[in-house]
Each structure stands twice: as C-alpha cells, then as structure tokens.
Amino acid sequence: MPEFLELVPPPQALARLMDHIHAIPSPELIDTGKALGRITASAVVAPHPLPAFPRSTVDGYAVRAADTHGASDALPAYLQVVGEILMGVPAAVELRRGQCALIHTGGMLPAGADAVVMVEHTQSVRQGEVEILRSLAEADNVIKVGEDVLEGQEVLPSGVRLRPAEIGGLLALGLTQVVVARRPRIGIISSGDELVSPHVQPALGQVRDINAYTLSALVEQTGGFPVRFGIQPDRADELLAVARQAMEQCDVVVITAGSSASTRDLTAQVIDALGEPGVLVHGVNVRPGKPTILAICAGKVVIGLPGNPVSALVIASLFVTPVLEAMLGLKRTLPPAGIQAVLALNLASQAGREDWIPVRLVATPQGFLAEPVFGKSNLIFTLARADGLIRIPADANGLPAGARVEVVYM
C-alpha cells in the first residue's frame, strides 16, 4: 500500500508540528470575575503593595514591641489602653511609649505600633490598663505592607491558566480586568459517505457522526472555540472547498476522515492541496491512530484524524490538545501525567509501536489500580467506561501486572 512510507514515533511527530506553532495574536481584555480557566497573555504587575497597610493577624492589642521587652507571666508589662481600632477605618490614635490599643484580626495598625500581642497573652487589670504577658519582637502577629506582594512585583507571568486563587489575587489588587489569550478557533470537518448527523435516524449502513461532538467538547475543555463545518462526502472537490472555508475562519482545521485506506489517501491529498509546506507527518507509530496526518498549510495547522471515534479522541488528546495549549501560550501545565497507578493485569504490545490503553482507576489502600478496559478501538463506550489512558512505550513488549503507570486524562 502506498501510504505510511514512514511511521513516525509520536514524540517526533508532535515535535515536527510544534516547531511551527506560535502563541495566538490579539489577546483580549476581559472581566477578571469571568476569567476562570482563561490563560494570561501578559505578565501581571502589582499596581500597589499588598497589603496596602500593616494589618493584625490576631485579636489583641497593638503595641510598640520595645514596650514589651522582658515581659512574662511572672513579670508583666503594664500598658495604657488608649482606644479600640475599628475595622475599615484608619486608627484615630497614635501610640506613644507605654500605650496600646485594642485591635481585631485584619485591623490596621495605628501609627507608632509595630507588633500585636494576642489577647490570650494579656490580662485586664483595671479600666484603661492591660497586663502584657509576653515579650514581642517587631512585626510579631503583623502582616507588613507589601508582605504578600510588593508594588511593581510580577504577580502572574503570562501563560497561566486562571484558577480561583489567581482570580482572587488579581481582584485583591483591584485588577478587575485581565489580558487573556484569545480562544483559538478550531474548525472541525467530518468526512465519510456513511455519516449522518446524530439528530437523524441512520438508515442501514449509516452511522451517526460523533467525532464532531467529541472533538468540540475536547477543544472546549482545553480552552479553544470549536466551529463545526458539518459532514462532507468522500469527494476531494467538496472536502477541499469546505477545508478552505474552515482555514479562512479558523486557526486550526481538524478533518476526521473515513477509516478506509482510500478515504485516508483522499484526506492526505486534500490537505496537501491546502497550501505549503503541506503534510509534515502521514502515519504515526501508535495504536490507536496510525493514519494520523499532521500538516501546516499556508500558516494554518491542519490535522487529519482517523474516523474511528476512539482513535479520533485519543489522537486529538495527543496532538490537538498540545497545539491548542501552545497557541494559548500555556507555559505551566499540570502534567500530561495525572495520577500514578499500578497496572492490574499484564498487557501485551507490539515492540516499536506506542500503545495507548483505556483504563479504569480503582482506589485501594495502596493507591490506585489501573484496570485496562478492553474493546475494539471503535467502541466509544470503551472510552466512556475509562477514567483515562496509559501509555505502553514503543520500546516495550508490553507491561507486566504491578508496573507503575501514569494515567493521562482525555
């Protein structure tokens, strides 16, 4: 057969493609409160220190630390209480030597104070006076100005996916808007004479096109914007016309081809006609997903996925997801690795080819057990029954029961 003159190992296949991927232009300024999951497109610098004023971390008395030196249960220091610090307003008092003020957690230290003694370490003796039972150092129980972040400090680099904590940090600085990467538009084309929409009752011999939807969901999950271009028949002219339209409107075009050799050749021809340099990889040494096509056409990424729904989803998570993450400028991803687990059964594989096996995780007192979910590679519910995928490396003949494996999510 003419196809697959060279089966490229997955890491090299990905590297060939990634050489051409750049961060996407035109970042967006959006509300920080709506930025969950979005990715910073530039570094964020603190416009002011945080906290902006010295704050107490306990309930107690703001003091001048020097006034407490040598104080203990046996030999308390006696300080004059000159007032109470109310929340949300600057202290009305200024402490002089021998004075203190009642303060609450989070309250602003009055001028003159440099430490706070916990109320548990004090004793009221008479109106307007308190015994201090501990010797304090400067800044004890105080958050100083700029202790969280300094003015001008970089608080977030670019390429960070915003979680609740980052959103809180930005808002703490009054940054109610944030510059994030535009969501890359991923055009999705399904081709195959046998395909019908999931909304249509298939006749005998027809199957519902689900790749457009599983890929849309994967793209959405990763932070892209899926654009579906419908189902195309296995004819070069029609597929080419739609692919060109998708290239105009999108940053990446993904075509899921039929699974037969003839339709795979058709997809490769169409992709090669989309522009230079064209197909970089045609055939990857991986199962499932051997007939994968990776291409750059006139500056756009074009990926041909196998039509088989399991292969399409696995290969998309191996190739489309990293492309999207690189376009988003994501610098720090939590592992492609997820959970460590122990393999429950012996698994055979063909040396020289990388295999990806769906597994189900079972929690045990010793950690997670990864139980392979077997099934022919076009059974979508095989994946639905799995928690993730494990990899059998190309240089292995399989993996023995008891082997430590890393589970990657789909």
Structure tokens at 285: 């040494």
According to the binding rule CB under 8 A, does residue 410 interact with a second copy? yes
User: Contacts with a second copy: how many residues (CB under 8 A)?
Assistant: 98
Least distance CB 275 / a second copy (angstroms): 28
Q: Per-residue string for binding with a second copy, 312-351, x by CB under 8 A?
A: -x--------------------xx-xxxx-----------
Least distance CB 78 / a second copy (angstroms): 23
According to the binding rule CB under 8 A, does residue 5 interact with a second copy? no
| Selected range binding a second copy among 93-101, 208-216, 245-253, 323-331, rule: CB under 8 A | 208-216
Contact 39, 160 (CB under 8 A): yes
* Contacts of a second copy in 151-170 (CB under 8 A): 155-156, 163-169
Q: Per-residue string for binding with a second copy, 273-312, x by CB under 8 A?
A: ----------------------------------xxx---
- Whole-number CA gyration radius for the chain: 31
Least distance CB 271 / a second copy (angstroms): 19
Which position among 378, 394, 398, 403 is part of the footprint of a second copy (CB under 8 A)? 378
Contact 206, 195 (CB under 8 A): yes
| Selected range binding a second copy among 180-188, 268-276, 280-288, 373-381, rule: CB under 8 A | 373-381
Amino acid identity for residue 293 in this structure: I
According to the binding rule CB under 8 A, does residue 244 interact with a second copy? no
| Selected range binding a second copy among 70-78, 198-206, 279-287, 346-354, rule: CB under 8 A | 198-206
According to the binding rule CB under 8 A, does residue 32 interact with a second copy? yes
Amino acid identity for residue 192 in this structure: G
According to the binding rule CB under 8 A, does residue 220 interact with a second copy? yes
Structure tokens at 80: 């004059």
Contact 410, 389 (CB under 8 A): yes
According to the binding rule CB under 8 A, does residue 263 interact with a second copy? yes
Q: Please provide residue 349's backbone torsions phi and psi, each rounded to the nearest 5 degrees.
A: -155, 170
Query: Of 88, 102, 95, 89, which Cα lies nearest the Cα of 130?
Result: 102
Which position among 29, 70, 204, 237 is part of the footprint of a second copy (CB under 8 A)? 204
| Selected range binding a second copy among 75-83, 102-110, 127-135, 292-300, rule: CB under 8 A | 102-110
According to the binding rule CB under 8 A, does residue 126 interact with a second copy? no
According to the binding rule CB under 8 A, does residue 69 interact with a second copy? no
